[in-house]
Every structure is written in structure tokens, then in C-alpha cells.
Amino acid sequence: MQIRLSPLFAGLVVLGLSAPLHAAEVQVAVAANFTAPMQKIAADFEQATGHQAKLAFGATGKFYAQIKNGAPFEVLLAADDETPAKLEKEGAAVSGSRFTYAIGQLALWSAKPGYVDDKGAVLKQGAFDHLAIANPKLAPYGAAAVETLTKLGLLSGLESKFVQGENIAQTFQFVSTGNAELGFVALSQVVEGGKLKSGSAWIVPANLHSPIRQDVVVLAKGKDNPAAAALVRFLKTDTARAVIKSYGYEL
């Protein structure tokens, strides 16, 4: 009798990710822009390994402060590459565990179909009352939005119209509820499977802002947790990478 393994299971056996005898939990801090893909990845991770990833979503800047103040997070999936590097340098993360899991894309989005054109000319027309952006001091996508507007020569003229979200999730909420006609969000929030879910959007060209390299790192509290190491390994699998790409991230 021939036993056939599914491609996913066979791949996980090769990678040494098959379910362990003693499953564990890992506390994970996740950048708000990565909410939807990480929920999917966490479910796949549990199915493949038996480990559970307990997820908290928020602004990378706030997570940094919480980690430094003793928060029980064991893995950080940041919205930038600077924060994980800083934590590693300060001894709050495991040296050598850091790598870029995704490169984010910035999008100008409106919940209204046809409102945002495919070249972002709506910004120059200025026929709107509110433009949502994430706090540039806490959220890398907010910093990228400010950088984009600066390069376009539009920052000073549009600052008075800013509606500022604490993180990219709140920024998206401002636009989705109509409290802002449009806003700068993560492309991952408005696409799935490579298609725009609703509204209208302009994908901001990469040359208008610094690359949004998103790094993951095992934190000091997760050093001896097998689930933390397994999760970081899992992010490199074809399964996880396919999910990441489907939400509009570059790899």
C-alpha cells in the first residue's frame, strides 16, 4: 500500500516542523498592518506544529516601549527594521534571530469606488476635507506617508487636513467608516489574493519613500521557548510566504 503525504505535510516534515510531543504557546507582538496575514499564518502554524501563537496587534513604537517595560512578548513582528535591530543591540532580543519577513507597500485608499485615481492625482486636487495617516512617530507607514507627501511637495498644503491614527489599523478605520474621505494605509489592509477588496486605491511608488522593511526578532523572554523558535522558522516556509505575498507584500 502506498501512503501519500499532502505537499504541505511533506514539506513540513522535511523542515522539521511536524507537531512536537509537547506543544507550547508563544506571545507575539504584531504590527497592526500585518493583522490579517498573521491571523492566517498563526492558524497554519498551529495546524502544522501544534504550537499556539497568542497575538497582540498594535503600533511598533508602542510595542517597543512595552517590551522595554517588561511586557511578556516573546516574538516581535515589527513594521520596520529599526526597532528589532535596536532591541537586539540593547540586549532585549536574541542575537542572530532577526530577519526581514516582508516588505510593505503603502497605498492611498478611499472606501468610495472611483474616488482615488491610479496616479494619486486626487491629492493635488485637494477636494477633500480629511486625509488619514498613522502617527509618523510611532508607525512606519505614517512616516512613509509623510515622506511621500514631502517628495510630492504637498505636505505643507495638506497637513491641516490630517486625521491621525494611533496606528495603521485605526487609520484604516477612519477611512473605512467615512470619517476621512481617503488615507494612507498598508496595501495589505485593502487587498487579498492580489485583488482590491473594496473602494479605490493608488499604490504609492516605492521611490517616493524609504523601503518599509518589516523585521521579526525573537525577544529575550522567548529565548528558551521552542514555540518562539518554531514560529520564526515557520515564517520562512513556502506556506507562510504565500500568505504574505497574497496580501500585497513583497518578499
| 127 plus 172 within the same structural domain | yes
Q: Is residue 2 part of a domain?
A: no
Per-residue pLDDT band at 6 (split at 50, 70, 90): very low
Q: Is residue 18 part of a domain?
A: no
Q: Is residue 198 part of a domain?
A: yes
Q: Is residue 10 part of a domain?
A: no
Angle at 178 between CA 174 and CA 182, to 5 degrees: 70
| 99 plus 216 within the same structural domain | yes
Q: What is the pLDDT of residues 91-145, one digit of tens each?
A: 999 999 999 999 999 999 999 999 999 999 999 998 999 999 999 988 889 999 9
| pLDDT, position 242 | 95
All residues at 6 or more sequence positions from 139 whose CB lies less than 8 Å from its CB, including other chains: 32, 59, 60, 61, 79, 165, 166, 167, 168, 171
| 35 plus 59 within the same structural domain | yes
| pLDDT, position 186 | 93
Q: Is residue 19 part of a domain?
A: no
| 199 plus 123 within the same structural domain | yes
Task: Assess whether pLDDT exceeds 80 at residue 212.
Answer: yes
Mean pLDDT of 80-96: 96
Domain holding 43, by residue range, is 24-103+212-246
Per-residue pLDDT band at 238 (split at 50, 70, 90): very high
CATH number at residue 121: 3.40.190.10
Q: Is residue 5 part of a domain?
A: no
The C-alpha cell at 53 is 501563537
